[in-house]
Amino acid sequence: MRRKWPEEFNSILNGAEEVTLDLPAIDNDDGSRSEAISRKALKVRMSMEDYERIWPLAEMRYRLDGNMTGKAITLITTNPHYHRWHPADGGTVDDVSDSGRHYKTAYVVVHFLLDDVRETAAA
């Protein structure tokens, strides 16, 4: 199934940093050894409020539009293979509203697996 990333969440990906996730080879319980893996990903620092809004999209693959056409992303939240890249504390920022009221905004750092999904067509 081809799911499109919801347009209302496009701003969340603004300023995303493209990174590489390196998974070392591991020894399995059955004595076999897995190969080391490198995966491209997007690293995003977003407000906790935005994170709570996109939580229902976690662990599902979504195709992107715009300047990221041909790519798909999957928000990492609970996958044990990517434990080091699960959502983490992104700090807080103190600010003052226009009315003079002080408030804090909590942030979280998340990673989206990034895949190339361009399809070739016969000419």
Q: How confident is the model at residue 55 (pLDDT cuts 50, 70, 90)?
A: very high
- Mean of pLDDT over the chain: 89
Count how many domains the chain has: 1
**Between the CA of residue 7 and those of 18, 79, 113, what are the distances in Å?**
20, 25, 19
**What is the per-residue pLDDT across 78-120, written as a single tens digit (0 to 9) for each?**
888 888 889 999 999 998 888 989 989 999 999 999 999 876 6
Q: Which residues, at least 6 apart from 100, have a Cβ–Cβ distance to it below 8 Å?
A: none
Average pLDDT over residues 72-80: 91
* 14-51: pLDDT as tens digits: 989 999 999 888 777 787 887 888 999 999 999 999 99
Q: Is residue 123 part of a domain?
A: no
Could you tell me if residue 31 is inside a domain? no
Position 42 scores a pLDDT of: 96
Which pLDDT score, from 0 to 100, does residue 37 have? Answer: 84
Instruction: Look at residue 78 and tell me if it is in a domain.
Output: yes
Residue 17 in any domain: the answer is yes
- Domain of 44, in residue numbers: 7-25+36-116
Q: What is the DSSP string of 4-44?
A: BPPGGGGGGGTTPEEEEEEE---B-TTS-BPPPEEEEEEEE
Residue 81: phi and psi, rounded to 5, are: -70, -25
Banded model confidence at residue 123, pLDDT cuts 50, 70, 90: low
Residue 122 tokens read as 């016969």
